[in-house]
Amino acid sequence: MYKQDPPQAPRLLLAPAFSQREYSVSPVNSPTSGEPVYRVVEQRRTIYVSSSTPLTDGGQWKDDLSDLFRNSVDLEAPSTTTYDATSLIGRDDGGLRIVCEPENLSGSKSRRQSRHEQAASPYSTYVPPPKSASPKSSPPASASKATRRPPRSAPVRGKLHFYDRDESFYGFTNFSRHNVNYRGGNYSTSEHLFQSLKFLPHRPDIAERIRACRRPSEALSEARRHKEYQRVDWFHVNIQTMDEVLLLKFTQHPSLKLELLSTGDLELIEDSPVDPFWGIGKDGQGRNELGKALERLRDKFRRPGLED
């Protein structure tokens, strides 16, 4: 039953199903609209609504307020939550509608305040959904919130594996028969040069023996045999040294450069089952540093004037 207390602000009591909810309604100055605006307080919830229906029309106000709070969304959501008014009531026959958000109201406080303060300061804004011919259950709170777009995932890159002598792109390996000229010396493969640089300039005798090896596998074995004499800072400069060796190899063999550029944005992977550092190793989880070095070189070639 609707009751009004003349000496104080008008008060509304809902029908029996909502008899425990009490509303206080009082007119305020409109912040955005020319028509009358009223402040409605239901226990600890405060909203601002606009209506062409006079406040004295208790029956219409009681029905609209009943719908408003019956279909209430998650009032514990942050005060910045916005609700799409186009999908809500928007009636021309006196229905209630939102007129402003909490941040546009002077004196709006944080949601974490006492019930006494909440009764004096609005903190939640809501517009009831439109009435339909047949009653429907109110949607879950999560469905009423603005839908967030999932973060855009990075496009999946294709992969190009190289390693076997009889397959394409074997020239990307350091064992391919592409000689490299370095400071007047001719090295049969980039592997020969890379292994020799472990001993330059402090042990040119060992470096020369490595350069003279017939096969890249022999050059690798010779370097390992003299490991105790290699540069003490080798593991700090080995990746940079590989970048320099590959630059020499691919600039001295234009066909290799074109082949590298033809790979587009593919991830380059040395599919070596025996090297988990330069390749991916037996379990496929290796660091693939040779593949990464080739990708850096590919990027370098695409920047004019930086390949030399």
Q: Would 114 be classed as within a structural domain?
A: yes
Clarify whether residues 30 and 60 are in a common domain. yes
The answer to whether residue 65 scores a pLDDT higher than 70 is no
pLDDT in tens, 162-173: 999 999 999 999
Q: What average pLDDT is seen over the chain? A: 73
Q: Would 128 be classed as within a structural domain?
A: yes
pLDDT of 184 reads: 95
The answer to whether residue 40 scores a pLDDT higher than 90 is no
Clarify whether residues 139 and 185 are in a common domain. no
Boundary (domain end) residue, out of 119, 144, 169? 144
Q: Would 102 be classed as within a structural domain?
A: yes
pLDDT in tens, 140-154: 555 445 566 667 666
The model's confidence at residue 124, banded by pLDDT at 50, 70 and 90, is very low
The model's confidence at residue 8, banded by pLDDT at 50, 70 and 90, is very low
Clarify whether residues 295 and 194 are in a common domain. yes
Clarify whether residues 220 and 91 are in a common domain. no
pLDDT in tens, 99-114: 444 444 444 443 334 3
Q: Record the pTM.
A: 0.51
Q: Report the percentage of the chain scoring pLDDT > 70.
A: 50
Clarify whether residues 209 and 112 are in a common domain. no
Q: Residue 108 has which token pair?
A: 């709006």
Least confident piece of the model among 67-71, 124-128, 234-238, 250-254: 124-128
Cross-sheet strand order for the sheet of 45-50: 11-13, 22-28, 37-42, 45-50, 97-98
Structural domain including 119 reads: 11-144
Q: Would 115 be classed as within a structural domain?
A: yes
User: Whole-angstrom Cα distance, residue 33 to residue 48?
Assistant: 11
Q: Would 66 be classed as within a structural domain?
A: yes
Least confident piece of the model among 41-50, 120-129, 230-239: 120-129
Tell me, letter by letter, the H, E, C secondary structure of the chain: CCCCCCCCCCEEECCHHHCCCEEEEEEECCCCCCCCEEEEEECCEEEEEECCCCCCCHHHHHHHHHHHHHCCCCCCCCCCCCCCHHHCCCCCCCCCEECCCHHHCCCCCCCCCCHHHHHHCCCCCCCCCCCCCCCCCCCCHHHHCCCCCCCCCCCCCCEEEECCCCCCCHHHCCCCCCCEEECCEEECCHHHHHHHHHHCCCCHHHHHHHHCCCCHHHHHHHHHHCHHHCCCCHHHHHHHHHHHHHHHHHHHCHHHHHHHHCCCCCEEEECCCCCCCCCCCCCCCCCCHHHHHHHHHHHHHCCCCCCC
Number of domains in the chain: 2
pLDDT of 60 reads: 62
Q: CATH code at 261? A: 1.10.357.40
